[in-house]
């Protein structure tokens, strides 16, 4: 992963991604698989009611703690009035859609680059259905989470429709957030003393 810094004299960009840096990253991981191990982190603090705030900065990856972010990202969860809040922010299930949209998009763009496909335009619309009887504990037969999430994916690129469909199918399998949603991923919660 360090090699990307060594390349860069005259970078070739496809879809806004540096193809030499990407090739160097893949070569580095093939030589040492442990470089592919990442750990992402967030710290969250409750404010009041449905309002809480996350701070995101450091992560571990490519064999070291990342120090590229001098200022942390901050995001506020909130709820709309109908869910007892004041729209202090988007709500957590909406942030999940943002995460999913972004991950599918970036995964598509990355593997398009790997296939030499140049993307001109790309957008997506997501809808997710949820029955709040689950959250509220009113019906044990209702899942608290999303029943289903649908993505309408629009893309314009220099390839055939068949190639786009193939790439989109591959994207769906390889996207980390999509895979986290589609597959059961263990969440371990441990209570620490306050």
Check binding of 129 to a second copy (CB under 8 A).
yes
How does DSSP classify residue 70?
A: S
Indicate the residue among 10 and 190 with the shorter CB distance to a second copy. 190
Eight-class DSSP state of 158: S
Q: Which among 42, 164, 148 is positioned nearest to 97, based on CA atoms?
A: 148
156 touches a second copy by CB under 8 A = yes
Least Å from the CB of residue 10 to a second copy: 17
Q: What does the per-residue mask of binding to a second copy show for 93-112, with x meaning CB under 8 A?
A: xxxxxxxxxxxxxxx-xxx-
Please select the residue that binds a second copy; options are 32, 92, 116, 160, rule is CB under 8 A. 92
Continuous segment of H or E residues that includes residue 99: helix 92-114
CB count, 10 Å around CB of 24? 19
Question: CB-wise, 9 or 45, nearer to a second copy?
Answer: 45
Q: Is residue 189 near a second copy by the rule CB under 8 A? A: yes
Min dist CB 8 to a second copy, Å, is 11
- Helix (H) or strand (E) holding 60, with range, is strand 59-61
83 binds a second copy (CB under 8 A): yes
**SS3 label, residue 132:** coil
Out of 38, 116, 118, 160, the only residue in the binding site for a second copy (CB under 8 A) is 38
CB 148 to a second copy: min, Å: 5
**What region, left, alpha or beta, does residue 35 occupy, with left being phi > 0 and alpha being psi -120 to 50 degrees?**
alpha
Alpha-carbon distance of 40 to 155, in angstroms, equals: 29
Q: Which is nearer to a second copy, 6 or 47 (CB)?
A: 47
C-beta of 180: minimal distance to a second copy in Å?
Answer: 4
């Amino acid at each position: 992963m360090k090699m990307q810094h060594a390349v860069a004299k005259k970078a070739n960009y496809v879809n806004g991604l540096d193809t030499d840096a990407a090739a160097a990253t893949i070569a580095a991981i093939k030589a040492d698989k442990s470089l592919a191990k990442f750990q992402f982190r967030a710290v969250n603090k409750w404010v009041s009611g449905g309002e809480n705030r996350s701070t995101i900065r450091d992560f571990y990856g490519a064999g070291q703690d990342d120090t590229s972010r001098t200022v942390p990202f901050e995001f506020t969860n909130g709820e709309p009035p109908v869910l007892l809040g004041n729209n202090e922010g988007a709500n957590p299930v909406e942030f999940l859609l943002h995460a999913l949209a972004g991950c599918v998009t970036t995964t598509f763009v990355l593997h398009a680059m790997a296939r030499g496909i140049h993307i001109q335009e790309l957008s997506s619309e997501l809808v997710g259905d949820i029955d709040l009887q689950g959250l509220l504990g009113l019906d044990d037969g209702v899942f608290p989470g999303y029943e289903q999430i649908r993505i309408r994916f629009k893309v314009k690129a220099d390839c055939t429709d068949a190639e786009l469909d193939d790439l989109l199918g591959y994207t769906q399998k390889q996207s980390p957030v999509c895979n986290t949603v589609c597959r059961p991923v263990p969440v371990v919660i441990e209570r620490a003393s306050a």
